[in-house]
């Protein structure tokens, strides 16, 4: 068995462990939803005509859903992260270089960073929905990497034989991993905000005797009762903002470092290459998000929707540009 084969086996093992963590997180979320349904909806609503009460978990509802499932999710996430790190290191040894030169390696390292950020932010409080979304994205990325994006470990073309392969591409991967967790937090924020704002409207609808449609279609029904145990929309928004701010700083270095590397490799700082344009568009979207959030008073769901757009641009820049658009940055390896 070669070192490259060992790397592939370790990545398969990592995907298996993270799949177990994903399933355990899903079970924890299901148990949380089941337990929350038994709590009367009146707990999160004030008396008629009064202000909405803070959304707090009932004493008999554990915020992590199932302690056993949460424990399995935590341990297998750590195991999967460790196996993935070993797979990345052995991939680098097999190729004789830093393992960030193609889409396969980008997917491995990006997933590893996302798992690390998830484990760190949940070291004190396990949030099942956050784990389900981040691990789901991670498992899907690894599955696509192993079945579609895989290429043999080999040397890279001359333009990539530079220390900027570590600095420029490595920072871009870290930023993408951070953006992934920030995106997941924004999704949960939108759901929580919809429930918090919908609860008061549902109370008003019940007073008029017409709560049916609102109860069925808004995020206020029994199926979404588990949101009472999640952090508030304001907490989630602040958390998402911090992560996306960190990712933006890293992405800024990616943009600047890429321009410097382009000047060294091709004799120009900027050439409107598709990858350069995609990176710049993502930077503009996240810059607009931070600007609107801090100086224009944008908050709540409006700010989260900008995060969705930014993350979609980042993913499109990684997939569509690499696979379907020709340019100097077409280093998919496929």
332 falls within a domain: no
**Ramachandran class of 46: left when φ > 0, alpha when ψ lies in -120 to 50, beta otherwise:** beta
User: pLDDT band for position 247 (50/70/90)?
Assistant: very high
| Total Cβ atoms within 10 A of residue 264 | 11
How many domains would you assign to the chain?
Answer: 1
Structure tokens at 64: 């992590």
Percent of the chain with pLDDT over 70: 79
Residue 207 has pLDDT above 60, yes or no: no
**pLDDT, mean of residues 199-220:** 49
DSSP secondary structure letter of residue 169: I
For residue 216, give the 3-state DSSP assignment: helix
**pLDDT, mean of residues 236-255:** 94
330 falls within a domain: no
96 falls within a domain: yes
CB contact at 8 A, 8 and 146: yes
DSSP secondary structure letter of residue 143: H
296 falls within a domain: yes
| Total Cβ atoms within 10 A of residue 274 | 18
264 falls within a domain: yes
Tens of pLDDT along 188-201? 999 999 888 865 45
User: So what's the pLDDT on residue 217?
Assistant: 45
User: So what's the pLDDT on residue 179?
Assistant: 95
CB contact at 8 A, 326 and 262: no
CB contact at 8 A, 224 and 193: no
**What mean pLDDT is reported for the chain?**
82
Closest CA to 299 of 247, 258, 240, 221: 240
Give the structural domain span for 285.
3-324
Residue 113 has pLDDT above 90, yes or no: yes
User: So what's the pLDDT on residue 65?
Assistant: 62
Tens of pLDDT along 309-322? 999 999 998 888 87
159 falls within a domain: yes
User: pLDDT band for position 66 (50/70/90)?
Assistant: confident
Structure tokens at 199: 């609860």
Percent of the chain with pLDDT over 90: 44
The interaxial angle of helices 128-144 and 103-121, nearest 10 deg, is 170
Measured CA to CA, the distance from residue 124 to residue 59 in angstroms comes to 19
Residue 42 has pLDDT above 90, yes or no: no
| Total Cβ atoms within 10 A of residue 125 | 11
49 falls within a domain: yes
CB contact at 8 A, 31 and 129: no
Residue 167 has pLDDT above 50, yes or no: yes
DSSP secondary structure letter of residue 149: I
329 falls within a domain: no
Closest CA to 269 of 281, 258, 254, 279: 258
Question: Which is it for the CA torsion 190, 192, 197, 198, positive or negative?
Answer: positive
User: pLDDT band for position 331 (50/70/90)?
Assistant: low
Tens of pLDDT along 134-159? 999 999 999 999 999 888 887 766 66
**pLDDT, mean of residues 57-86:** 82
User: pLDDT band for position 50 (50/70/90)?
Assistant: very low
């Amino acid at each position: 068995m070669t070192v490259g084969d060992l790397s592939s086996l370790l990545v398969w093992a990592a995907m298996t462990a993270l799949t177990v963590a994903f399933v355990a997180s899903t079970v924890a979320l299901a148990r949380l939803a089941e337990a929350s349904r038994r709590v009367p909806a009146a707990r999160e609503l004030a008396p008629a005509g009064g202000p909405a009460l803070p959304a707090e978990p009932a004493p008999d509802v554990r915020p992590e859903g199932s302690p056993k499932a949460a424990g399995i999710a935590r341990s297998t996430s750590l195991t999967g992260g460790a196996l993935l790190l070993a797979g990345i290191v052995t991939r680098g040894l097999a190729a004789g270089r830093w393992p960030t030169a193609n889409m396969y390696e980008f997917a491995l390292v990006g997933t590893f960073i996302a798992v690390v950020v998830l484990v760190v932010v949940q070291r004190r409080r396990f949030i099942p929905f956050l784990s389900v979304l981040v691990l789901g994205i991670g498992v899907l990325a690894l599955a696509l990497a192993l079945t579609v994006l895989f290429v043999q470990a080999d040397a890279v073309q001359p333009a990539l034989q530079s220390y900027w392969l570590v600095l420029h591409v490595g920072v871009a991967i870290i930023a993408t991993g951070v953006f992934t967790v920030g995106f997941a937090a924004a999704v949960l924020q939108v759901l929580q905000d919809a429930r918090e704002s919908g609860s008061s409207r549902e109370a008003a609808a019940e007073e008029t005797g017409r709560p049916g449609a609102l109860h069925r279609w808004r995020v206020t029904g029994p199926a979404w009762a588990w949101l009472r145990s999640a952090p508030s929309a304001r907490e989630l928004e602040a958390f998402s903002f911090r992560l996306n701010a960190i990712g933006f700083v890293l992405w800024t270095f990616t943009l600047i470092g890429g321009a410097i590397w382009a000047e060294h490799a091709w004799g120009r700082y900027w050439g409107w290459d598709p990858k350069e344009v995609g990176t710049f568009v993502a930077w503009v979207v996240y810059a607009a998000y931070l600007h609107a959030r801090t100086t224009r008073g944008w908050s709540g769901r409006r700010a989260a929707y900008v995060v969705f757009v930014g993350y979609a641009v980042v993913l499109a820049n990684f997939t569509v540009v690499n696979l379907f658009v020709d340019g100097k940055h077409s280093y998919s390896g496929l």
